[in-house]
Amino acid sequence: MNKLLILPIILFITCAMTCGKDDFCPDDPHSRFYLKNESDVRIHSIMYWNYPDTTIGISPVFDINEGISPNGSRAFEADISNCWENALEGRSEWIYIFNADTIETLDWETVQQTNRGLLERIEINLTSLNQNDFVVVYE
């Protein structure tokens, strides 16, 4: 085999094994966790990364089709080169759960000022995610 072809192959294999891997993630990292809706209402969810502050942040762009129907679920993805073990190391965050029908009809300023449509804030951290197999349940 031509020596000029071997070097790119070795570089490709090395990068495939190590590129994008975060040194702070364990060998069996969790790149996502799931929010399961076990309630009887359609919900929207968001993380603002503002724990312990409970203020509702800027308006996310909610697509009506992105709501989580009863008995449905949504994956929360970690950063492309990250894992939840790294992102939440030593910290907690809130998942804000909103009634989809309510916040789709209100302007966001009303939601922020009155908390209308906010159903619950669920605190997550590595302990709670590990205890629940990286599934967060809204009931």
116-130 residue pLDDT tens: 999 999 999 999 999
Q: Is the pLDDT of residue 6 over 60?
A: no
In a domain, 17, yes or no: no
Specify if 117 maps to a domain: yes
Report the alpha-carbon distance of residue 134 to residue 126 in Å, rounded. Answer: 9
Residue 48 identity: Y
Q: Is residue 8 domain-resident?
A: no
Residue 128 lies in a domain: yes
Distance CA 100, CA 43 (A): 5
Cα–Cα distances (Å) from 54 to 22, 105, 126, in that order, read 30, 22, 19
As for how many domains the chain has, the answer is 1
Please list, in sequence order, all residues whose beta carbon lies within 8 angstroms of the beta carbon of residue 82, skipping any fewer than 6 positions away: 22, 25, 31
Give this prediction's pTM. 0.78
**Can you tell me the mean pLDDT for 10-32?**
60
Residue 110, domain extent: 29-138
* 96 CB-near residues (< 8 Å, 6+ apart): 45, 46, 47, 48, 56, 118, 121
4 domain residue, yes or no: no
In a domain, 72, yes or no: yes
- pLDDT score recorded for residue 59: 86
The reply to whether 45 falls in a domain is: yes
Residue 14 maps to a domain: no
Higher confidence at residue 135 or residue 65? 135
Tell me: the pLDDT tens digits for 30-86? 999 999 999 999 999 999 999 999 999 998 877 767 799 999 999 999 976 689 999
